[in-house]
Chains A and B, each alone.
Chain A
Amino acid sequence: MPSPEAEIVNHIRRLRFEHGEMTQENLAEQAGVTRHTIMALEAGKYFPSLLLAFRIARVFGAPVEQVFEYHGEPR
Chain B
Amino acid sequence: MSDSEKWARWTLGVVALTIAAYGAFVAFLGHGPATFSVFALLALTSVPASSRRYFKGQRFDEREQQIASKANRAGFGAFWLAFCGLIMAIYFTKGWNATLTVPVWALTETLMWGFILIVGVEAVTTIVLYRGGLHA
Could you tell me which A residues sit within 8 Å of B by CB distance?
A: 3-5, 32-34, 36-37, 40, 43-49, 51-52
Contact = CB atoms under 8 A, between A and B. Distances in A.
B136 A47 contact: yes
Given A34-B2, A36-B2, A49 B133 contact: no
Interface stretch (B31-39, B57-65, B104-112): B57-65
Contacts of A3: 135
B29 interface: no
Q: Provide the main secondary structure of the chain A interface.
A: loop
30 contacts: A3-B135, A4-B135, A32-B61, A33-B63, A34-B2, A34-B64, A36-B2, A36-B63, A36-B64, A36-B130, A37-B61, A37-B62, A37-B63, A37-B64, A40-B63, A40-B133, A43-B133, A44-B133, A45-B132, A45-B135, A46-B63, A46-B134, A46-B135, A46-B136, A47-B136, A48-B62, A48-B63, A49-B136, A51-B62, A52-B62
A59 to B, nearest CB: 14
Interface residues of B, number: 12
A29 B37 CA distance: 43
A33 B61 contact: yes
Contacts of B61: 32-34, 37
A34 B60 CA distance: 8
A39 to B, nearest CB: 9
Contact of B134 (A33, A40, A52): A40
Contacts of A40: 63, 133-134
A24 to B, nearest CB: 13
The 3 nearest A-B residue pairs measured at CB: A45-B133, A33-B61, A36-B2
B97 to A, nearest CB: 50
Given A37-B61, A46-B134, 18 more contacts: A3-B135, A4-B135, A33-B61, A33-B63, A34-B2, A34-B63, A36-B2, A36-B64, A40-B134, A43-B133, A45-B134, A45-B135, A46-B133, A46-B135, A46-B136, A47-B135, A48-B62, A49-B62
